Amino acid sequence: MTVNTSAADLWTGRGSFRPEDARHDSDDEFRPSGLGRLLGGCALMTELFHRLQRVAPTGVSVLLTGESGTGKELVAETIHCLSAGREEPFVAVNCGAIPSTLVEAELFGYEKGSFTGAVRSQAGYFERAGRGTLFLDEAGEMPLDMQVKLLRALESRRFYRVGGERDIPLQARVVAATNRPLADALAENRFRADLLYRLAVFHLHIPALRRRGEDVCLLARVFLNRLNEAEGASKEFSVDSLRYLKEHSWPGNVRELCNTVQRAFILADDEIDLRGASECGADVSEVSAVADSEVTFRQGMSLSAVERVVIKETLRRCSGNKTRTAAVLGISVKTLYNKLNEYSALD
């Protein structure tokens, strides 16, 4: 069968789906609780919603932390939708996906002729966000020298385009995110402490799905109802699927759950088999085995050299599978490709 609903739409609820329509056929009282497109009824999510509602109208910088797949961008969008600048643009930037040599030009923009290839002037992400919200995802992947410039812009609320002489007011609210524990990011010198404190005027941690109790079943039912509505079907979870939802640890968090439900929906005629569909996805046991492997380093190696060894060794142990390598390292596939391209240029 053809399933026209994308994984992104299924997760975020974009499109014609309304949360009040997410109802199980055998339970007319089912109404998913949440805030905007964020869904959840557990204590951890209830506290997150409360804190989110408090900070959203203020306009201060917010730092989001949490494992990959927990929905940090969706939280950032919710902050934007509850802010005074909700009618202004929401601009999302994956800092790890931008080559290090282009980060400044992409964020702040550039003037014509400021570097080779700059055939016209270009506004950066800060300008494009206007009075809205700029979401800096994977902020911990930003080069340290660029972190200094970002800090200066945040503190002065002004910046310059590359090659420009006119200072431009920074009007956008900045929401940043990282999947690295803050203590680790500081200890590894990946995050400048002063920038971290400037971004984390208000800190929100998004809990892992395994800690959210019955929210796993709630989300699964919402995803299934969205698929049923989009495809004109009436499929239901098998008894074993309901058991699997509670047994599985969901290391890929909400993203893994969403993809598993969609995959099972494609494979099913009437009854959804999540356990069987999980076998068609990434082999988490193999990923865990690779993640538990050890690599030794000689004393005195630079952090960049250590990072290079770790990335290349992980890629080797994943048999060249870049998607699995990125999952083991906890970075995006785009970030991995950028790192590998940098190493190729140095070789």
Sign of CA dihedral 184, 48, 262, 213: positive
Give the residue with greater pLDDT, 146 vs 282: 146
When pLDDT is averaged across residues 42-64 and rounded to a whole number, the result is: 96
Predicted TM-score of the model (pTM)? 0.75
pLDDT at 15 over 50: no
| pLDDT computed for residue 253 by the predictor | 94
| Encoded amino acid at 125, one letter | Y
| pLDDT computed for residue 194 by the predictor | 92
When pLDDT is averaged across residues 144-172 and rounded to a whole number, the result is: 93
- DSSP strand E in 179-225: where? 202-205
Give the whole-angstrom CA distance, residue 20 versus residue 22. 6
pLDDT at 213 over 70: yes
Indicate the pairing of strand 173-178 with strand 62-65: parallel
| pLDDT computed for residue 21 by the predictor | 34
Indicate the pairing of strand 122-123 with strand 109-110: antiparallel
| pLDDT computed for residue 299 by the predictor | 66
| pLDDT computed for residue 109 by the predictor | 94
What percentage of the chain has pLDDT greater than the value 70? 84
pLDDT at 1 over 80: no
| pLDDT computed for residue 110 by the predictor | 93
Give the residue with greater pLDDT, 47 vs 279: 47
Give the whole-angstrom CA distance, residue 233 versus residue 341. 45
| pLDDT computed for residue 342 by the predictor | 84
CA distances to 138, 218, 242, 279 from 271, in Å: 38, 18, 12, 17
Q: Average pLDDT, whole number, for the chain? A: 85
Residues 105-149 pLDDT 10s = 999 999 998 888 888 999 999 999 999 999 999 988 888 889 999
| pLDDT computed for residue 291 by the predictor | 47
What percentage of the chain has pLDDT greater than the value 90? 56
| pLDDT computed for residue 293 by the predictor | 54
